[in-house]
Amino acid sequence: MQANRPLLDRVKTPEDMRNWSVAQLRQLADELREEVIEVVSVTGGHLGASLGVVELTVALHAVFDTPRDKLIWDVGHQAYPHKILTGRRDRMRTLRQGGGLSGFTRRSESIYDPFGAAHSSTSISAGLGMAVARDLSGDDYHVVCVIGDGAMSAGMAYEAMNNAGSMHSRLIVILNDNDMSIAPPVGAMSAYLSRLMSSRRFLSLREVGARMARVFPKGLERTARRAEEFARGILTGGTLFEELGFYYLGPIDGHNLEHLLPVLRNVREAPVQGPILLHVITKKGKGYPPAEASADKYHGVTKFNVVTGEQAKGPPGPPSYTRVFSDTLIKLAEADPRVVAITAAMPSGTGLDRFAARFPERCFDVGIAEQHAVTFAAGLAAEGMRPFCAIYSTFLQRAYDQVVHDVAIQSLPVRFAIDRAGLVGADGATHAGSYDVTYLGCLPGMVLMAPADESELVHMLTTAAAIDDRPSAVRYPRGEGFGVTLPERGEVLEIGRGRILREGGTVAILTLGTRLYEALKAADELAARGLSTTVADARFAKPLDEALLTQLARHHEVLVIVEEAAIGGFASQVLHFLATRGFLEGRLKVRPMILPDRFIDHDTPARQLAEARLTCPDIVQTVLGALGEASVSVRA
C-alpha cells in the first residue's frame, strides 16, 4: 500500500518547493524521512547518515537555486534524501543494484550531482575549484559543500581550507557535525548569533569597523582586528576556522528549519568575499528510534523490518575474511606483545573493533587519515613494534607516497592488511580494490600475498608477522570465505613459494587469490574434454616463484594466469619473467585473465565477476581458444 505523502508527491524537482512555508517544509522533511526509511528497508545501504541530513537537505534545496547553484556532498553516503528531491524518487528502489542508482553522488546520474564522491574529504577542494572556475569565466552562482565532522579529520580538508582562506573566491562550506565534542551547546542564543552575524547589517558594520581600524596606527589596527575575531571565537567556537580564513557561523541546530532557513538565506545574500563556514549540529539516525539507539546509528544496513528495525540475516555461513583477519590478529597479539594495529576510521569495517576490545592500548584509530596511518605505522616499526596497518584497498591508494617513501625505501616491516581487494559488489567502482597488486607489486622489496581461501589468510598473516626486514601486504576480498577448516595456529610460509594443487600435462592454470576454486572447476571441465590440466596457486604476487613458473612454462602447451586485479599486476610480472627467460619464443601459449580495462559498476559480486569474465566457463573458453578447439566437446 502506497504511503500518504502529499507534499513529497508534489516535488519532482527542488524548484517545486522553493516558495513553501516553514510549516510545509517541516512536513516535507517528515515525509522525506519516512521515504528514506522505507526505501533503505528494501535496498539496504547507508541509512543513519541520510536520516541525519533530512532537514538540512530540504533547507539547502529550498534556499539555493540548484542545479545552477552547485551542491556538493562529501562522501555521498548521506545523499539519499538529495536523490529523492532531485527527480530520482521513482528509481530509489534500484539503489546499489545492477543497472540502478549509485549509493553515492555521481555526475553521470544527475545534473544535481555536480561532483561524484564515495571517498571522503574531497568536497572543499572540488568546490574551491568550481568557485575559481566560476570567477574566471565571469559567471555568478553559489558553490555549497557539505562535509561531515569525520571527513574533517582528513588532511585534505585542511589543505583545501588553507588554500580557500587565502583566496577571495566565494565558497560556502556546511560543516555537518554529528559527533564533534568541541561544539558548544546549541540553542536559541547560538541560532540568534548566527542569524545576526550572517545578516547584511552585521556584515556591513564589520566592514565599517575594518575600514576604521585601517586608519588607526598599526598596533591599534592589529589589536582591534584580533579583539573582534577573538570575541567571535569565544561566542561561537569558530576560532580555528577563522584562523584558516573562513567567516565562521554557528553552531546551529541542523534539524530546526526555523533556525536553518534564515541563516542559509543570509549566507546566500551576504556580501562576503571569500569562504564562509556554517557549522550545523545534526544527529545520525535522527527520527528513527532503532537507528538512534544503535551504536553505529545504522550507518550501513542490510534490508530491515521498518517496524522493529531488525535487519535481515542470511543463513549462517562461513566466516568473512574480515572476521578471520580479526581473529588471527588477536591470536598473534596474544603471543607477541609487539603486535599493534592501526586503522583509518574503519574499526568495524576492518574488524579491528574486536581487536580494540581485547587490546585497547595496542589499537589505534587515527581518523580519516590514511597518509598519517602509514607513516605512523612506519614509526612504530622503526622502534621495533610489529604494526599491522588495516586499510581498504581503495583507501590505501590515498597513502601511496607514504608507502613508497616512508616504508618501502626504508625497508621498514609495516604489514598492510588490505581488505576489500578485488570487486566489492554494491559499492561499485569507487570501492573496488582493483589496483593494489599493480601499485604494490612494482615496489622493490615488497612481499605481496593473496590467499586463495580463509585458511590461507591465517597462514599469510602469520607469515607477515614473522617478516621483520621489509614491508609486506596481504590482500583479501570482501565477504565470506569458502567454509574450509581453519587452522588453530597459522604456519609461516616460505617467502615467494607457490603450490601445485593438481598435476596435469597439457594445460596449466596459475591463479593468485580466490579465483583458485574457479580454476579447479575449470580443470574438471577440461578433464571431461580430455585435456590434462595442472592447477597452481601462486600465493605470492611478489616475489615470484620462478621455479614454479619455469616448471609450468616448460611442461605445458597453454598457461592461463588468473587474477582479480587490473592490468600491470601479477600477470604482467609473470609475462615479464617469461619474456626475459625466452619462454615466449617457443610453443608455449600464454593467456592472462585479469579485470577488464574499464570500471565495473555496482552489482552483485557474482554478476560483476561474470562481467569481468573471471569465472569457470570463462577459464575453459580461454583454454580452448588458445588451443584452437573452442568447438571441441571431448569427454574422458
115-155 pLDDT tens trace: 999 999 999 999 999 999 999 999 999 999 999 988 988 89
Say how far apart CA 126 and CA 149 lie, in whole Å. Answer: 18
Residue 262, preceding bond cis, omega within 30 degrees? no
End-to-end C-alpha distance for the chain, whole angstroms: 58
CA 86 to chain centre: 24
Share of the chain above pLDDT 90, in %: 82
Length of the chain: 636
416 pairs with which residues across the strands?
389, 473
Residue 632 banded pLDDT, cuts 50, 70, 90:
very low
The candidate with the shortest Cα–Cα distance to 363, out of 382, 389, 395, is 389
Residue 184 banded pLDDT, cuts 50, 70, 90:
very low
Higher per-residue confidence, 483 vs 208? 483
Residue 235 banded pLDDT, cuts 50, 70, 90:
very low
Q: Looking at 471-588, which runs of residues are DSSP E strands?
A: 472-475, 499-502, 507-512, 533-537, 540-542, 558-563
- Average pLDDT on 275-282 reads 95
The candidate with the shortest Cα–Cα distance to 325, out of 439, 225, 418, 449, is 418
- Contact residues for 61 (Cβ-Cβ < 8 A; gap 6+): 14, 17, 71, 82, 85, 86
Helix (H) or strand (E) holding 267: helix 257-269
Query: Count of CB atoms within 10 A of residue 99's CB?
Result: 10
| Catalytic positions | 284, 370, 398
Contact 41, 298 (CB under 8 A): no
Contact 66, 86 (CB under 8 A): yes
DSSP code at position 88:
I
Q: What is the pLDDT of residues 582-591, one digit of tens each?
A: 999 989 999 9
Say how far apart CA 421 and CA 406 lie, in whole Å. Answer: 23
Q: Which three cell numbers stand for residue 408?
A: 618501502
The overall pTM is greater than 0.75? yes
Q: Is pLDDT at 209 greater than 70 in this prediction?
A: no
Higher per-residue confidence, 185 vs 430? 430
Residue 201: what pLDDT?
58
Q: 539 — alpha (psi -120 to 50), left (phi > 0) or beta? A: left
- Average pLDDT on 547-567 reads 98
Q: What is the pLDDT of residues 2-54, one digit of tens each?
A: 678 999 999 999 999 999 999 999 999 999 999 999 999 999 999 999 999 99
Q: What is the pLDDT of residues 337-373, one digit of tens each?
A: 999 999 999 999 999 999 999 999 999 999 999 999 9
- Which of 70-74, 193-197, 414-418, 532-536 shows the lowest mean pLDDT across its residues? 193-197
Residue 180: what pLDDT?
43
- Contact residues for 330 (Cβ-Cβ < 8 A; gap 6+): 354, 355, 358, 359
Q: Which three cell numbers stand for residue 221?
A: 589596527
Say how far apart CA 103 and CA 94 lie, in whole Å. Answer: 10
Q: What is the pLDDT of residues 404-462, one digit of tens each?
A: 999 999 999 999 999 999 999 999 999 999 999 999 999 999 999 999 999 999 999 99
Provide DSSP, 610-624. HHTT-SHHHHHHHHH
Say how far apart CA 242 and CA 276 lie, in whole Å. Answer: 9
- Average pLDDT on 55-72 reads 98
Q: Could you give the angle at which helices 321-335 and 454-466 cross, rounded to 10 degrees?
A: 30
Say how far apart CA 340 and CA 359 lie, in whole Å. Answer: 9
Per the prediction, the chain carries an average pLDDT of 91
Say how far apart CA 404 and CA 381 lie, in whole Å. Answer: 15
